[in-house]
A and B are shown apart, each in its own frame.
Chain A
């Protein structure tokens, strides 16, 4: 069974950094396209970033230059390094397998950016 568990969220001040992890089981992250999707409190869904099985990455404009998606094959884990965090980055962050659509999701981890 494919499963993903996110961690690393928490309360952080504006301008700070945080690294989210998504530990996968039941499949190899290196063979899948993987995405991060976020949801601000009480709001809709927003795609953040994707990494292809070949390593190509894409980002939504609002996080370009601040967030970096990567993976650790030995740990079978997806990462999201988030720098220069802003109040508007406050959200639950989900990792998901991605064939364009998102077919398997983790439970999410909450990131709160506040002073």
Chain B
């Protein structure tokens, strides 16, 4: 199975900060990577697919990059609505696997 490791696990930041979350795969997954945002008690929401493609309706302050084994999710200017938990997910091969999550907290 492909292991996905996110860092950091917890990130404290302020509104208007630029933040970056990293996701590393245990083997190359090309660009078959997605990012999700999840708020408490809600289903995850797709933000980015194919490493850097922005899902329809997602604000342009979210961006993704990377290929192979290292990927990043960047939020260019944090808004209050962005404080949530973020997950990466590989879909290169079965079983599909997720990172352990990064909780983005208000500083």
Contact = CB atoms under 8 A, between A and B. Distances in A.
Interface in A20-57: 35, 44-47, 50
B87 A45 contact: yes
Contact of B98 (A45, A61, A94, A96): A45
A40 to B, nearest CB: 12
Interface stretch (A65-73, A74-82, A98-106): A98-106
A17 B32 CA distance: 34
Contacts of A106: 43
Interface residues of B, number: 23
Contact of B49 (A46, A58, A103): A103
A84 interface: no
Contacts of B97: 47
A22 B36 CA distance: 21
B34 to A, nearest CB: 4
B34 A44 contact: no
A107 interface: yes
Given A44-B101, A45-B87, A45-B89, A102 B44 contact: yes
Given A58-B94, A101-B91, A103-B49, A45 B32 contact: no
Interface of A: 35, 44-47, 50, 58, 60-61, 94, 96, 99-103, 105-108
9 contacts: A45-B36, A61-B95, A101-B34, A101-B49, A101-B89, A102-B34, A102-B46, A103-B49, A107-B42
